[in-house]
Amino acid sequence: MDLARGLASLSEQDLGIVRADKRLDEIPEKHAVLELRKRIRDFEVVRSKAQAYVDEAQRLLGRDEDEIAGLDAKIDIEQRKIISGEITNPKEIQALSRELDALKRRKDKLENVTIDVMEKLETGVAQVAKIDAVIATAHEKEAALIAAFQEKGGALQHEIAAMKAKRTALAAALPPDVMERYEHARETKHGIAVGVLRGDMCSACRIQLPAERIQALEAGPDIGECPSCKRLLIVRMVEVSE
């Protein structure tokens, strides 16, 4: 394959890859998956906060239950002292009774607090379960969308892989200096690095060139440079696809 034809084929291959990548990117399921994943991340943030609420409620409940257990033990001890008959001094009995009443009041207060904490814990657990169900449903939908994307995009991905393999072979067959110029032009000219001289016009920038420029190009090598857009310019006509 001559240099001009090889460069034209490489350019055609790169443009084909760009178009195929664009088609792949525009598959609706791809954007649906990305949007759904964002929503899942948002749900997970909410779940994290709900779980933190549950964890704190469980901590408070455990603390209060431990304190109630301690109060029960103290109440039992004080009651045994009074019932045993070992203490006969009325003042001591009265003091124990007051202490016992204080312990019971503290226990009653804690039990009311515990009921409130248990209700909050139940609400929090239900909220976490609800969010988990929403996340699970979202993951099921994500899996279905991914399967649909793979079905629609699988053939296209194989096509892109084949084009890239061909592109690698074409690039390897071109001289390094030409490839350097080509890659530079492709990077700076929005992916279109090569034009073809057709009559007095560059096919890439569509600018009509002066006659003296045309003559200079035709007198030079097969691969020149467009005086207008500075892209590589195939001077000798070769068969290329637009």
Structure tokens at 214: 């045309």
pLDDT for the residue 2: 84
- Can you list the domains of the chain with their CATH numbers? 9-173 (1.10.287.1490), 177-234 (no CATH)
pLDDT for the residue 84: 82
Structure tokens at 43: 């749900």
The packing angle between helices 176-188 and 3-25, to 10°, is 40
Region 176-185: mean pLDDT is 93
Q: What percent of the chain has pLDDT over 90?
A: 76
pLDDT in tens, 38-89: 999 999 999 999 999 999 999 999 999 999 999 999 999 888 888 887 777 8
pLDDT in tens, 90-99: 888 888 889 9
Q: What is the mean pLDDT of the chain?
A: 91
CA atoms of 209 and 199, how far apart (whole Å): 9
The helix (H) or strand (E) run that includes residue 202 is: strand 201-202
CA atoms of 29 and 150, how far apart (whole Å): 9
CA atoms of 36 and 51, how far apart (whole Å): 22
Q: Is the pLDDT of residue 242 over 70?
A: no
Q: Is the pLDDT of residue 237 over 80?
A: no
User: Of the candidates 25, 26, 51, 19, which has an alpha carbon nearest to the alpha carbon of residue 192?
Assistant: 19
pTM for the predicted model, two decimal places:
0.59
Instruction: Tell me whether strands 232-234 and 194-198 are parallel, antiparallel or unpaired.
Output: parallel
Q: Could you write out the three-class secondary structure of 140-177?
A: HHHHHHHHHHHHHHHHHHHHHHHHHHHHHHHHHHCCHH
Q: Is the pLDDT of residue 238 over 80?
A: no
pLDDT for the residue 240: 42
pLDDT in tens, 118-139: 999 999 999 999 999 999 999 9
